[in-house]
Chain A
Amino acid sequence: MAVNEKNFDKMLDQYPAKVKRNRKKHIIIRDSSTAAQEIEANTRTIPGVLTNRGCAFAGCKGVVLGPLRDVVHIVHGPIGCAYYSWLTRRNKARSDDPGKNFMTYCVSTDMQESDIVFGGEKKLARTIDEVMEIFSPEAITISATCPVGLIGDDIQQVAREARKRHGINVMSFSCEGYKGVSQSAGHHIANNGLMEWVIGQGTTEDPPGQFAINMLGEYNIGGDSWEVERVLKEIGYTVVSVMTGDGSYEELKNAHVSQLNLVQCHRSINYIAEMLEKKYGTPWLKVNFIGIQSTAESLRNMALYFGDEGLIQRTEEVIARELARIEPALEKYKKICDGKTAFCFVGGSRGHHYQGLYQELGIETLLAGYEFAHRDDYEGRDILPHVKTDADSKNIPDLQVVPDKKRFRLKIPEERMAQLQEKIPLSNYQGMISDMKDGSIIVDDLNHFETEEFVRLLKPDIFSSGIKDKYIVQKMGIPSKQLHNYDYSGPYAGFNGAVNFARDISMSFVSPTWNFIEPPWKNIPLLEGTIGEGES
């Protein structure tokens, strides 16, 4: 059954009137005949509706900072938040020096009631001293949890003093969970901090190799970044830094030397991308390494940007070779997947990115959405001047950067930039909506109630989201694919990733597991016989 205004309205009628009015603005049915479809996003979550959203701490420490492997991340607060953000994002990291890979450590000041009453600054300072003694890292981050801001611990001051005391970079992030409306606030806070205290702190002035790039918003879930880097290096790119999957403080310090910044997850890292452009004159390119066509297109756009004949040729060679290699492998999966339908609800970019890959397998996306994205992730950056800033977004201040006197260099002339922008998403992102088919549903901040209702209405063959809604849908008899942690599989990015994804999705369709739902006795009468009519 398709969703129309009528059954859609009926579904929302189950909400209290005020909630219905609110939620209606977060859900649209795609209609390309309407010039610009508007969606409400990045506004306060309705209390009690079972959102999938997290908090600023999760966005800052959990998403952006956490993957930096050579940094010790201290969580300042009671034990819970440190525990819950301990390796939960599944970003992989490897290090040449295992002594400098702190990914698997969870360090918390473990504040007790007395610390809440008397303040936790001293405990934090002592923790830093001990961390220095034990791990001796090049850098330390401090992430604050809810009570820290409330009791007025001045973590900035503690960090400043520790910097002096130890001569290393100690950064503090006031990412208390109550800030903003979702983890998106935390991304912004982390972006500001990395820009202020890390990027550009290195002494390198020239790119370490040809076609130097940074990869932004790639968190190396299940090894995604490694698969993409494999291809990039083969074509001839020099990857200066990855933000922040398998990333390192050492690399990040010199990220300013790159000639182009790739943006994979626009939501979580667009702030840094913009600031790098302002400060160093380096444009960013929206890429999408999920799906074969998107990967090829992203690679071609990169080559076009650099405009080097050799690079363009190598790009085509690598694409051709990779396609020839993986396409036969994909054939059998395509046969299984063809004609199926999917929901695709993920955080801030994958809800868009995976639709192309689904399509390549013959799977139509009926519903898609983001947990914590902003309007520009749906409608494209062109609407940015028209987005109202509300009190919540103002609470996270923008970091004002100015062109770096020594290092600012326009990487390409303005004229060529304008020409390129006609052809490729250079310093631009078109958003999800324009890529979606008419009649498909776009939902911002999908909650448990709506998940159930939409699954009943649209009956998708596969549901892709996270662990919190996965089990609801599987209990409804529909397979689910976690696109946050890939159900411990992956990589799904790039060419090899597409095959992995096709294999995993196909597995959901052909696994005999689903065949046993109806017990054999269900439709067999227990007693053979007839019922005589009229008997008393």
Chain B
Amino acid sequence: MSDKTVHCRNYNENPCSMCMPMGGILPFKGIGQSMVIIHGSQGCSTYMRRHIAEHFNEPIDVASSSLNEKGTIYGGEENLKKGLDNLIKAYRPRVIGVLTTCLAETIGEDIDRIVEEYRLERGLGQECSIIAVPTPGYGGTHFEGYWLALKELARLAGRVPKHSRINVIIPNLSPADIREIKRILGLMKIEYILLPDFSDTLDRPFERPYKKIPGGGTELSDIMAMGGSRATIQMGMTVDERLSPGKYLEKEFGVPLYNIPVPMGIEGTDTFLGLLSRISGHPAPEELSRERGRLLDCMIDSHKYNFRGRSVIFGEPELVGAMAATCIENGIFPVVLATGSKTEKLSRLLQPWLEEHHIKCLFLTETDFFTIREQAVRGKANIAIGHSDGRYLTEREGIPLVRAGFPIHDRVGGQRLLSVGYAGTAMFLDRITNTLLENKYSNYRSSMYRKFYRGDEKDAVPAGKSR
């Protein structure tokens, strides 16, 4: 393993991350009957809605306090309060997330005070909870925004009697992944509180009549009960402790925390099921054992193709970690692992695997696609795995991209991509193997010709370059 490098230039060229409030919106979308208002210029909310909507193909209703020049001088309190009034009147949400922006934080808005004052002024009782999350755009990437919002949500938990349920706290996964995790929990006969759960709200079925706020999402009462749970399973190996909702619940209420990777790959899913078994005492049912067997069969069938893969994997650190581990299990050894976020935990997490298999891999944190592209070429990557902004690796360097994570803007179905659990891993793996195969077949004849008739040793030509 070589050292991680931070790009040494002063600017960011083709970013591999978004801003903090963007990440903060997603957990709130996974809370029952909730709405978000962004305290800042209305452009923030408009841009983020646009980007989330294009990934999920769903309405993304996010309000804005529409601050203007006057607000920057006299403070935005009045606008935020008016915005809350209008939001409550039109949507009647049970939960409102108030996220700040560069603007609100730079002018020093004290949103905790404003929200508290608002509650008192309007005599707002239990019917609506307002949660303020300070998310300046310069405070981190959308990954940190996501986890900070989750932590602020976890702070709703109260001191309640102990109960037998288990908290399951998940990172930014696809709705299909969330549904799969719920299915596994169901098969394991686990009673759980899932935070957040946007499996229905951000992938809602067509139904009539249209509802302003979709059904589904974690119930507020369930969040409040998280302090009494038997344990917390948090899929957040790369999450800073300051942002960790699981850590908070452990410190505050003594709920034991089990921090595990996203259940992807054989080992990742084994860890998850093993843990569930250990906590609940329930063995994994036959159905899941068969799924494990089927995944193994898939891995064996594909391993010859997969071993030719040299991957460059990028995106949010938690997903990069899980996808990298899955790739390593299958011989698709990574040459570059990259994230726009600042984290040291990712490389620490993967080190044992990399050492075990003598993999030379470059870690890039706080990076951009300029650097990723440069290093992917240097490492002779032949497959890219990550969100759709990596399409430049295909366009410029002919490295095919398997789309995974968030956002996926140039293809449909990001919300339906299934990659977790044994069954999901098999599907994830097939997507990769088939991309490698497509590349192989599209070059097969020309590379053979070059090899045997022209003595050219180079056989793997990236797709798009030779055609």
B139 near A467 with CB under 8 A, answer no
Identify which of residues 187-215 in chain B touch chain A, using a CB-to-CB cut-off of 8 Å.
204, 206, 208, 210, 212
Please list 8 pairs of residues, one from A and one from B, whose beta carbons are closer than 8 Å in the complex, sorted by A's number: A47-B79, A47-B80, A48-B63, A50-B62, A79-B12, A79-B15, A150-B72, A392-B68
Q: How far is the CA of A44 from the CA of B208 in the complex (A)?
A: 34
B41 near A146 with CB under 8 A, answer yes
A517 near B206 with CB under 8 A, answer yes
- Knowing A47-B83, A47-B86, A116-B106 are in contact, say whether A180-B68 is a contact too (CB < 8 A): yes
Stretch in B49-57, B256-264, B438-446 touching the partner? B49-57
Identify which of residues 138-194 in chain A touch chain B, using a CB-to-CB cut-off of 8 Å.
145-147, 149-151, 176-183
Contacts of A83 in B (CB 8 A): 15, 17-19
Q: How far is the CA of A145 from the CA of B105 in the complex (A)?
A: 13
Contacts of A85 in B (CB 8 A): 47
- Knowing A44-B66, A46-B66, A395-B69 are in contact, say whether A78-B89 is a contact too (CB < 8 A): no
Shortest beta-carbon distance from A75 to chain B in Å = 9
B137 near A78 with CB under 8 A, answer yes
Q: Total A-B residue pairs with C-beta atoms closer than 8 Å?
A: 229
Shortest beta-carbon distance from A170 to chain B in Å = 14
Identify which of residues 120-150 in chain B touch chain A, using a CB-to-CB cut-off of 8 Å.
136-139, 141
Pick the residue among B13, B40, B51, B101 that contacts A107 (CB under 8 A). B13
Contacts of A395 in B (CB 8 A): 69
Task: Check if B60 is an interface residue, CB within 8 A of chain A.
Answer: yes
B71 near A106 with CB under 8 A, answer no
Contacts of A81 in B (CB 8 A): 19, 43, 47, 137
A116 near B138 with CB under 8 A, answer yes
Shortest beta-carbon distance from A148 to chain B in Å = 9
Contacts of B19 in A (CB 8 A): 78-81, 83
Task: Check if A105 is an interface residue, CB within 8 A of chain B.
Answer: yes
Q: Which residue of A lies closest to B63 (CB)?
A: A48
A110 near B68 with CB under 8 A, answer no
- Knowing A116-B106, A475-B210 are in contact, say whether A82-B15 is a contact too (CB < 8 A): yes
B138 near A51 with CB under 8 A, answer no
Contacts of B138 in A (CB 8 A): 78, 111-113, 115-116, 147
Please list the residues of chain A having a beta carbon within 8 angstroms of any beta carbon in chain B: 14-16, 19, 44-58, 74, 77-86, 88, 104-113, 115-116, 123, 126-127, 130-131, 145-147, 149-151, 176-183, 391-392, 395, 448-449, 452, 466-472, 475-477, 517
Task: Check if B103 is an interface residue, CB within 8 A of chain A.
Answer: yes
Contacts of B67 in A (CB 8 A): 178
Q: Which residue of B lies closest to A115 (CB)?
A: B138
Shortest beta-carbon distance from A312 to chain B in Å = 44
Pick the residue among B21, B69, B102, B392 that contacts A147 (CB under 8 A). B102
B65 near A47 with CB under 8 A, answer yes
Shortest beta-carbon distance from A445 to chain B in Å = 11
Q: How far is the CA of A146 from the CA of B69 in the complex (A)?
A: 10
Please list the residues of chain B having a beta carbon within 8 angstroms of any beta carbon in chain A: 9-15, 17-22, 37, 40-44, 46-51, 53-54, 57-72, 79-80, 82-87, 89-90, 101-103, 106-107, 136-139, 141, 204, 206, 208, 210, 212, 340, 392
Pick the residue among A45, A84, A452, A471 that contacts B212 (CB under 8 A). A452
Excluding A84-B51, A467-B50, 20 further A-B contacts by CB distance (< 8 Å) are A47-B63, A50-B61, A52-B46, A77-B102, A78-B138, A80-B22, A83-B19, A84-B18, A85-B47, A107-B12, A108-B11, A112-B138, A116-B138, A126-B11, A147-B137, A177-B40, A177-B103, A468-B46, A468-B53, A470-B53
Contacts of B210 in A (CB 8 A): 452, 472, 475-476
Q: Which of A52, A81, A145, A475 has the most chain B CB atoms closer than 10 A to its own CB? A: A475
- Knowing A48-B37, A80-B19, A150-B107 are in contact, say whether A126-B10 is a contact too (CB < 8 A): yes
A47 near B53 with CB under 8 A, answer no
Q: How far is the CA of A81 from the CA of B102 in the complex (A)?
A: 10
- Knowing A112-B138, A468-B60 are in contact, say whether A178-B71 is a contact too (CB < 8 A): yes
B66 near A47 with CB under 8 A, answer yes
B102 near A146 with CB under 8 A, answer yes
Q: Which of A47, A78, A145 has the most chain B CB atoms closer than 10 A to its own CB? A: A47
